[in-house]
């Protein structure tokens, strides 16, 4: 069981086993990096966020409560770090202004790769808190309960944000001619 493995690795880390932490990094570096990348859309920033996430996790491992799932805990750190990084760099409106120029024109029928690009563009045009639920749901495939644990908001709020985000994305893609 993955959860049991995580608990064992965390316990070994707490006992000073750095290799165990290396295994946790190996296991979670890809989802953590991808979550940061989808939120920030910048490889360098996503790499920084992933690095900071794991360093903070290591630093605070002593306070981690093993009754919670490790991935929820580390994803929460990652999402918070990414949102902080986003807030400290530029507002989402500024991102929107930059990305709009690169969006496909209304007459252009996008294929699979172009659709992905259009979606990534559209994601950058919605509020970070809405983007976060889209990333957790559609890129990390987490349940409502997991998202609620990670974002520290009730499931009802998770659903509300998710539905709003989908609506905004759908409307945006229609306007861009991607649909």
Partner 1 sequence: MVDPGHLELIHAEIDGELDARQRAELSRRLLADPAARSLRDDFQRLCRALDAVAEIEPPPQLRDGILAALPPSPARRSSSAAALRWRYAAMIAGVLVAGTLVFQTIRGPGSATRDAAGTMAPLSGQTVVDTVRMANNGPVGGRVSLYRDGPELGLSLELTSGTPVDVLIASGGHTLRVSGLRTPTEVALPGFPMAGQAVDVTFLRAGHAVGSATLRAPKGQ
SS3 category, 124: coil
Q: Which two tokens stand for residue 57?
A: 């996790």
- Using CB under 8 A, list all residues that contact partner 1: 13-18, 21-22, 25-26, 29-30, 33-34, 37, 43, 47, 50-51, 54-55, 58-63, 65, 76-77, 80-81, 83-84, 112, 115-116, 119-120, 129, 134, 137-139, 141, 144, 148, 152-154, 157, 159, 162-163, 166, 169-170, 173-174, 179
* Smallest distance from partner 1 to CB 148, Å: 8
* Smallest distance from partner 1 to CB 86, Å: 12
Q: Distance between CA 144 and CA 157 in Å, rounded?
A: 10
* Smallest distance from partner 1 to CB 67, Å: 11
Q: Distance between CA 16 and CA 7 in Å, rounded?
A: 14
Contact 24, 50 (CB under 8 A): no
Contact 72, 150 (CB under 8 A): yes
């Amino acid at each position: 069981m993955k959860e049991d493995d995580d608990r064992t690795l965390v316990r070994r880390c707490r006992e000073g086993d750095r290799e165990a932490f290396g295994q946790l990094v190996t296991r979670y570096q890809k989802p953590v990096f991808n979550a940061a990348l989808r939120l920030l859309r910048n490889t360098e920033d996503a790499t920084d966020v992933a690095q900071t996430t794991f360093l903070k996790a290591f630093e605070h491992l002593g306070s981690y409560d093993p009754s919670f799932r490790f991935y929820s805990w580390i994803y929460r750190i990652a999402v918070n770090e990414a949102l902080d990084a986003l807030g400290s760099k530029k507002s989402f409106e500024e991102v929107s202004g930059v990305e709009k120029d690169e969006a496909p024109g209304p007459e252009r029928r996008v294929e699979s790769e172009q659709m992905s690009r259009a979606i990534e563009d559209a994601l950058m045009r919605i509020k970070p808190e809405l983007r976060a639920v889209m990333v957790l749901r559609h890129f990390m495939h987490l349940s409502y309960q997991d998202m609620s644990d990670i974002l520290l908001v009730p499931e009802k709020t998770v659903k509300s944000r998710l539905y709003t985000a989908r609506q905004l994305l759908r409307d945006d893609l229609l306007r861009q001619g991607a649909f």
